Structure formats: C-alpha cells, structure tokens
Structure 1
Amino acid sequence: MIELYFAATPNGLKIRLFLEETGLPHFITPVSLSKGEQFAPAFLAISPNNKIPAIVDHAPAGGGAPISVFESGAILQYLAEKTGQLLPSDPRRRIEVLQWLYWQVGGLGPMAGQIGHFNVYAPEKVPYAIDRYTREVARLYDVLDRRLADREFIASEFSIADVACYPWIVPHEAHGQNLADFPHLERWFMAIAQRPATLRTYEGVENAYQPKQALTEDERRTLFGQGKP
C-alpha cells in the first residue's frame, strides 16, 4: 500500500495521476502547506527538503521495512518500476521516457513555477522577472510542441513523461501562455484531459494559482519563505 503525502500542486497531482492511471492501491495523507505542516518532524523524516509530494511504500518489493521516497521525479520512477507500468523495460524506449521526465523536473516545472509565482503570488509586479520567465516557459512549451508534432504522446506511448508534464500545462493561463499558439501541445493536452484517470485526479481540485482568498502574511512567509515559520 502506498501512502501519498499530498497537496494539490502540479507536483502533487502528477503522483496522484500516476496512481489513478495504474490503479495501484494507495491512500492520501493531506499536507497543508499554508499551515506549515511540511515542517513537522515526522514529515521531514520522509521528505527532508520539506516539499510535497512524498510517499511511503508500506509493502515494498521483497518485503522488509517501508520505503520512503521524496522528489516527484524519483517517486514516478520508483512507482513505475514497482508496478512495471508506464516505463518501458527496453533500454532505448526507457531512456527516451526518462529524458523527458528529467526535462520536466529540471526545466518545465521550475520555470513554470517561477512565472506562476510572479504572475499570481508576488506582492508586487516585477516586469523583468515576468518577461524572463514568460519567455522561457514559451520556449519550453515550444520544445514540447515540436516533440509532439509527429507522435501521440511525448515518448511515443503513454508513459510517466506524460504524467509528469500534464499537471504543469494545466495552469497555462497563469504561465502567460495561450495553447492555441502550440497546436500539437494543445492536441495532446486535450487528449490527456479526457482520460478517465485525469478526470478522477482533478475532480474537486481547485486551481493552485487561483486561491479563494488572499494569503495572510504568515501564510505567505510559510509558503515562500526560506525556512519554517
């Protein structure tokens, strides 16, 4: 049984999407980031970087003590290897998937997260930052658009590369992007959005870049500060 420490951010949602796609038995332990629950000692023992998502595999292969994993890319790779799903065993196809998984973790996610922050959460507009990150995310969208020009999925067949990237395209408006400018990416995005697992994953999930009410100063410090409150 997989325990998922979860908040409805793009990184949290991509693990939930994997679990829905594969049907791997799991349960969810919510983590309130605005309340600082990511700094609790019990959570830090699992995720020392005080970030979600994190998992605990209470029934690891071969038995023994539970295995905890933090960092969303590592979690996706671990779960794919555990289940034998969404990550090919053939070396050529496998490395194709892993390249795009790491591309998302190292590029698309961090850059999209930055423009989302400066567009939505920053207490004041910083034109240089907004321009820089909007342009970089547009470049990354274009990379994905060109990749999808001649294939249905990012690595030819549906894989953890698609699972990793989709939640980071969902908030494209907050990223200052128009999907109509990226027709192949838009086609892929609409197809993933209609998958039953995606519909289950996003049912009742609020847009992380459209909070219902303004953050308090304490919540802002907790979410965007350099340490625990």
Structure 2
Amino acid sequence: MKNTLTFLLLSFIFCTSLKAQDTIVQKKNIYTEARYHYYLKTILLFNEYLDTDKGSFNTTQLRFLHPIASKAWNLRVDLPLVSTNTNSDNKTGIGDIGAGLSYIPYMKYKDEGIAFRARVISNSAADPAIGTGKWVFSPAFFFGKYFTHNILWITSLENQISFAGSKNRNDINLTTFENYFMYIFGSHWIAGDVAFRYNAINKGYPNNAYLEFGKRITKNDIAYIHPSVAFGNHKTYNFGLEVGMLILF
C-alpha cells in the first residue's frame, strides 16, 4: 500500500513539469463531460442519502470548481453539511471540508487523456459523529477514452491516507479502483460505475456500484440522479440515492 501511495505522489509531482497541449482547451474532449468538467467554473450541489445498519447518513454538499493558470489546472473545494440518524444519536453540522488540485498533462487529440488530482480533506467536522477525526491526503490518477463519439470510459486509482488528527480515531488507508462508463444521447446520458475498494486498516472491501441518469436542462444547467448499492465485507452502507445539479458559468 505504501508503494502505491509513493507511486501516485511521484506521478503527481512529475506531471507538474509537463506542458498541457493546446488542444485540451480548444476542442471538446473527455474532461468536458458533465461529471468531469474542467474548463468552466462549475458549481455542483447534490444530496446523498445512505442507508446503514445503524440508521442513515445524509450529506448535502456544495462543490466549487475553478479553472486556473492555462486551464489545464483545476481547483476544487467541497463544503459538506452532514446529518446522521440513529436510534441513539442524531447529529447535523458541517462535515470535513476538502480542497483539491487537478492537472491534465496529456491529451491525445480528444479521444483519450490522463489527469492527476491531489486532495486534502480536513479534520473540520462540527461533531465527531459526522467526520473522520483525521486529516487525509488523497492523490488520484485518471485515464479516459472515447470508444465511440458517444461512449466514454474513465478509470481512476485513488489512495486516501490519514496523516494527522485525533489519536482516538482509526487511521485511514483506503485504495479505490473505479470504472465509469457513460453513454451519451442528445442532451441525456446513462452511466454505470463500479468502485472496488480495499481498506488496509480493517482488511475490508467496502465496494459500491451505481447507475446514473442525467440530462442537460439548459446550456449551463445539468441535473442527474443515481441510485447505488454497496457490497463486500466491511461495507460502509447498504444502499443510497444521490441527486445533483451542476451549474456551469
């Protein structure tokens, strides 16, 4: 697991020395699709409900993305409002705020490309019940490819590892391998996603999968909904539902 993290860290540092090709800001490509938009300022507001063995976990999140520098860079900020509902404890408040920086160093025309992202998730939750109690660093690598003009595949490898925080909370070391397939038709899309995870702390596999249905409502407004289900040992929830709206400007 340490080797995986080291590789991702070195990959992210190396990519910053590369110059993004002009085509990535001049032509439509994989990272202009709704779920991976890099080149316009974007506000994403979504609500995710998760059913757990002990009750429910609900997150209402505001995400802001802003292209910077040559527009091959992208800044992301996440502000979550979290609610838990169990038989013994109900809590609502600000969750762990996160910020990330993404970079696209390579694009082969518009058919395929790679991207890197590094995020830091803070130990900022208003209550221990709605946060991890840890500071987390999360590097990720993405590869995307169009199989046809309307079938898109994006795969990613991400590692989340805690580096500071409460000694009374469990450390975090989670690796995720995710595959996202999107079929685009007109102003709509249908997508499927499967994420395989390995938790190195409890030796568990908290995997999940979802189906997604999306529609471009106006030129700058996009809505989507996706139901999800978790599987594997030590899974963190049973089933969930996320509804979101993107505003591009």
Smaller-chain TM-score bracket: under 0.3
The structure richer in helix per residue is: 1
Q: TM-score by structure 1 length?
A: 0.24
- Structure 2 length as normaliser, TM-score? 0.23
Higher relative contact order (CA 8 A, sep 6+): 1
